[in-house]
Homo-oligomer: A and B are copies of this chain.
Amino acid sequence: MKLTILKDHLNESIQHVSKAISNRTTIPILSGIKIDADANGMTLTASDTDISIQSYIPVEKNDMNIIQLDRPGSVVLSSKFFVEIIRKLPAAQVEIEVKDHFHTTIRSGSSEIQLVGLDPEEYPTLPSIEENRKIQLPSDVLKTMIKQTSFAVSTNESTPILTGVLWTIQDGILKFTACDRHRLGSRETQIEVDGGFQLSNISISGKTLNELAKILPDQNALIEVVFADNQVLFKLSSILFYTRILDGTYPDTSKLIPQSYQTEMVVNAQQLADAIDRAYLLSKEEKTNIVKLIMREDQTIEISSSSSELGKVTEQLDVSRLSGELLRISFNSKYMLDALKVIDSEFIHIGFTGAMQPIIIRPEESSNLLQLILPYRTTN
């Protein structure tokens, strides 16, 4: 293999695929990036077996010549050092030449770098995926849906299925659900699919989805998502992102969500978040994060937290609507702040069905987003 490539294009591709490289891999060749070059362009591949990312650089794009190919070929280069050095090369052009035994020389300006390459034949092949079952959705919608749910996945590896975000499709509605047994985040969106297209029990690691979100373009590009037996493939314009589906059966969370409320409240989202944030500051010193909410007849609420050692925070807040039974309820303030952070709405609706029942938080004007927090049992 011998070619010259524009540094910025090479660097961008390396940054994308390197997200799939784990520092803790037990398969030495997976600490490398596989490079394949032919007359059409260059393909970079990285994988940690859970995630695989492939990035494609065409020889030409928008009438600009990106790659000058002298000799096609393949090599695997250790990602350590390689990822960093390409970014810091002195010239706009980078020459890569692979010789016998995969000895690789990289030249740019007055820099010459020799790398010990590995045999690309030893690199595992990516799964071949049948493209029968696929959907399309806008990049920004996918990004937002990930942000609004992935924070609520479980971090407890003893129930792996809950470390994922559940994807379901029914009646043309794509729904994400994440639940760690203490809270739940869910978000729906309408998609264009054949009426009969259904999806259930597809759980994808929250961590992986966050990595995907980092390389999803901000522009409103359409992302194709292909569902295979145990893999999901995300197709971006020049990137293929493979991830495996988590094993197990995702529990039915629908029964957690009450159908009607005993108490309903509409409140300014920012004011509530600021008040809870101050109470949280004290509660976190107690390592409990417990904050108490007391509802009053005069359409105000009191939010408070206390620490035996440090003192007490008390916040008074006007609400714009409060109806039903007046409650005293305690909850994890960090969970509430996480939930409020992803609701992009001036006013939010909070529904209660008792001091020991789930708290349901939604944007006031929309029903496509729902956050649930289980309250704490406290003595007063």
A interface residues (Cβ-Cβ under 8 A, vs B): 78, 80-81, 84-85, 88-90, 104, 110-116, 274-275, 277-278, 281-282, 285, 307, 309-317
Q: For residue A309, which residues in chain B have a CB less than 8 angstroms away from its CB?
A: 116
6 contacts between A and B (CB under 8 A): A81-B281, A81-B282, A81-B307, A84-B281, A85-B278, A110-B316
**A88, A111, A285 pick with most chain B CB within 10 angstroms:** A111
Whether the pair A313, B80 counts as a contact (CB closer than 8 A) is: no
Whether the pair A115, B311 counts as a contact (CB closer than 8 A) is: yes
Partner of A113, one of B85, B88, B313: B313
Nearest CB of B to A286, in Å = 10
Whether the pair A116, B310 counts as a contact (CB closer than 8 A) is: yes
Partner of A80, one of B81, B104, B310, B312: B310
Whether the pair B275, A111 counts as a contact (CB closer than 8 A) is: yes
Q: From A113, which residue of chain B is reached at the shortest CB distance?
A: B313
Q: For residue A313, which residues in chain B have a CB less than 8 angstroms away from its CB?
A: 85, 111-114
Partner of A274, one of B80, B88, B113, B277: B88
Partner of A311, one of B111, B114, B275: B114
Partner of A285, one of B81, B275, B278, B316: B81
**A78, A104, A114, A310 pick with most chain B CB within 10 angstroms:** A310
Q: For residue A115, which residues in chain B have a CB less than 8 angstroms away from its CB?
A: 310-311
Partner of A282, one of B85, B90, B316: B85
Q: For residue A113, which residues in chain B have a CB less than 8 angstroms away from its CB?
A: 278, 282, 311-314
CA distance A80 to B286 in the complex (A): 12
CA distance A278 to B88 in the complex (A): 7
Q: For residue A307, which residues in chain B have a CB less than 8 angstroms away from its CB?
A: 81
Q: For residue A116, which residues in chain B have a CB less than 8 angstroms away from its CB?
A: 309-311
Q: For residue A277, which residues in chain B have a CB less than 8 angstroms away from its CB?
A: 88
Nearest CB of B to A317, in Å = 7
- A-B contacts besides A80-B310, A85-B281, A114-B314, 17 pairs, CB < 8 Å: A81-B281, A81-B282, A81-B285, A81-B307, A81-B310, A85-B278, A85-B282, A104-B311, A110-B315, A110-B316, A110-B317, A112-B313, A113-B312, A113-B313, A114-B312, A114-B313, A116-B309
Partner of A281, one of B88, B278, B310, B314: B88
Nearest CB of B to A336, in Å = 16
CA distance A85 to B85 in the complex (A): 43
Q: From A277, which residue of chain B is reached at the shortest CB distance?
A: B88
Nearest CB of B to A19, in Å = 20
Whether the pair A278, B111 counts as a contact (CB closer than 8 A) is: yes
Q: For residue A114, which residues in chain B have a CB less than 8 angstroms away from its CB?
A: 311-314
- A-B pairs, 3 with minimum CB distance: A115-B311, A110-B316, A114-B312
CA distance A285 to B315 in the complex (A): 53
